[in-house]
Amino acid sequence: MSHILGVPQKELEKLTSVVLSKEILTEVDRLMTCRLARMPLQYILGEWDFHSVTLKMRPPVFIPRPETEQLVELALECLQGIHTPRVLEIGCGSGAISLSLLHSINNL
């Protein structure tokens, strides 16, 4: 619902009496049908927040796993204090690791 209404998830709780238009209800039905067909939520929404960036998601792009966010955190810890860090990502799927590191480190 947050995605469809364009409202941050934390704000949804405050919306107690919202009237949903026919277009929104049609979109909800479409998204629910996709999910019932076991399509990953990331593909249904077309984007996914990963670490510090929002990634566009569609098949066949690999969906980054939560463990990959932990890997980014570990890499950031290892790169602290290095004046001009260099990073090479081999075999990137969505580019999530590189994009997150680039977003988090100014001089990378």
Q: Are 25 and 1 in contact (CB under 8 A)?
A: no
Instruction: Label the pairing between strands 47-50 and 53-56.
Output: antiparallel
How far, rounded to the nearest angstrom, does the alpha carbon of residue 45 sit from its chain's CA centroid? 9
Q: How many domains does the chain have?
A: 2
Task: Calculate mean pLDDT across residues 81-102.
Answer: 87
Q: What pLDDT score does 44 carry? A: 94
Query: Do 34 and 46 share a domain, yes or no?
Result: no
pTM: predicted TM-score of the whole model, two decimal places: 0.74
* Residue 58 CB neighbours (<10 A): 9
Query: Do 33 and 50 share a domain, yes or no?
Result: no
Range of the domain at 18: 1-39
Q: Regarding predicted confidence, which is higher, 82 or 92?
A: 82
Query: Do 55 and 99 share a domain, yes or no?
Result: yes
Q: What pLDDT score does 4 carry? A: 83
Cis link prior to 59 (omega < 30° from 0)? no
- State yes or no: pLDDT of 6 exceeds 70: yes
